[in-house]
Every structure is written in C-alpha cells, then in structure tokens.
Amino acid sequence: MSKSRQVRVHLVCDTFRPESLADAVVVVIDVLRATTTIVHALAAGCVAVRPITQVDEARQIAGAMRAGHVLLAGERDGRPLPGFDLGNSPKSFTATRCKGQTLVLTTTNGTRALVRCQHAARVLVGAFVNFSAVCEQLRIDARPIHIVCAGNDGAVALEDTLLAGAFVDFLCEHATVELDDGARVAWDCFENQGRVLDGALQICAGGVLLTALGYDDDIRAAARVDVFALAPEVRSDPLRIEPGTVGITKQYWVK
C-alpha cells in the first residue's frame, strides 16, 4: 500500500508558520489577480517576475534595474498604482510589453503570499489558467503538499478556495492522500460551485470589487481553464518567479 501524501490547504496566507513549509511543495493561489497575471506575463515573454510586498520597495528595485529591461506593475485595492507601467490586469501583459522583460510586481494580497512561502522546498504558482500544468507537477512530486490561498485582506476568498478545491479534487483522484480540514472545506466548495466559475468569480468579493472598478474582463480572464501549459516556479537569490516546467501531457480539469 502506498504511503499517504499530506495535503493541507491554508484558506488565507497568514494562518501558517513559514518554517512549516520547509519540506513541502507549495502552490500559491491568488486567482483575482496576481497569480493569473504572473502566468500571463511569463507566457507572454517575461523572463522573471519579482514579487514585492511594499510599493516603495518595488519602485526602488525597478529603478535599480537596467532601463528598458524592466516592467513595474501592481495595484492596491484593485487600482493601478501611480507612475507604474501597468496595473494587475492579466491581458495587459502582452508579448509586445513583456518579451525579454523582468516584471517587478506588487499587489495587495498575492505577492505577500508568495513572499511568505519563499522558504518552502518548492513553490509553484497556480491559477485556473494553468491548472493542469500545476497538477502534473503535483502528481510527480512526492513531497507533502501545502496549498496557500492569498485571500482577501485577511479574509477567505471564494475564488482562491475554489481553485484549492480543484487541486484537492485532482489529488484525491490521482494519489493516496491525507486531507486536513482546510482541504476538505475547499473540496466541498469546489464540488458545489466549481462548475460555474464565471458566475462564482463574479459574485465573490474580489469579483464585485473588480466589476465596480470596470475590470470585468479580468474576471473572465481569470475564470478560463488551461490556457497555458506553464507551471511557474519560485527561485531564490534574488526571490523571483521563472517560467518553470512548460508542457502538459493531459488536461485534468473535470468538465
């Protein structure tokens, strides 16, 4: 009998001790919108993404980099930041803007979650748009799994919980697993609302905010599944996200 793999889901990113991730493979999720945007940016040709927690630090790091080879992007409370090249809308990260660039990115929730997970054994960036690519990496990596939801200003975010539940659903189908309560909550959420992603992402708090700000297209972009065969991975010294594994052998989304 194969050994069970531990699967833990953290419904917000402040509910774990960073050192508890030392031996684990971690998936960081911020569906609306940081991890969706990161996948778009890397797929469009960015060579790396530097996740930064503070606005002033992001400006400083971008300013110290070689001109013409850096994009400065981010948001606070859903709104683009003054003086930045781009906000946090996934489809703004086109090949024309991104090819050969390093993206310095700071967001309200997602970049903070990524920074908190940086000392894990392995960190993947997950979104609906690269669901199956991440699933393949989870399938072949035998280490314990922690799925970290960025959440929404310290509160549970429906969209992140749905994606976490989709990963749990996949793992239950393809491995022998031991779930914590967070994983079971996320799985139940996905079972009830995971087949209506567009609607779920529109009614969640993040979706309501984006709609009010006029970013309906971002919600639709975030709800698309398996657009990219890319499993971005966090690297160290300096902390950055690179494209990681490219290519998938199978689509795992349950239609």
Does the pLDDT at position 207 exceed 80?
yes
Please tell me the distance from the alpha carbon of residue 249 to that of residue 24, in angstroms, as a whole number.
24
**Cα(90)–Cα(222) distance, integer angstroms:** 8
What would the mean pLDDT of 246-254 be, rounded to a whole number?
86
- Write the class of the CATH domain 5-246: alpha beta
The encoded tokens of residue 91 equal: 């489809």
DSSP 127: -
Say what the pLDDT of residue 1 is.
Answer: 47
- For 7, the 3-state DSSP assignment is strand
Q: Which of 234, 230, 251, 247 is nearest to 117 (CA)?
A: 234
Q: Give the integer Cα–Cα distance in Å for 240 and 255.
A: 33
What are the tens digits of pLDDT across the range 135-145? Answer: 999 999 999 99
Question: Cβ distance 11 to 155 under 8 Å?
Answer: no
- Average pLDDT over the chain, rounded to whole? 96
Give me the residue spans of the domains in the chain. 5-246
Over 70: is that where the pLDDT of 2 sits? no
Taking residues 73-100, what's their average pLDDT?
97
Does the pTM exceed 0.85? yes
Looking at residue 88, its pLDDT comes to 98
Look at the block and give the residue holding tokens 């139940």: 188
Q: Give the mean pLDDT of 229-249.
A: 93
Helix residue ranges, H only, 80-224: 95-98, 110-116, 131-140, 158-174, 181-193, 197-203, 205-213, 216-222
pLDDT (average), residues 145-162: 97
Contact predicate 84/73, CB 8 Å? yes
Over residues 32-82, the pLDDT tens digits come to 999 999 999 999 999 999 999 999 999 999 999 988 899 999 999 999 999
Type of residue at 231:
A
Q: Check whether 111 has a pLDDT greater than 50.
A: yes
**The pair of three-digit structure tokens given for residue 7, joined into one six-digit string:** 């699967």
In this structure, of 152-166, 181-195, 240-254, the range with the lowest mean pLDDT score is 240-254
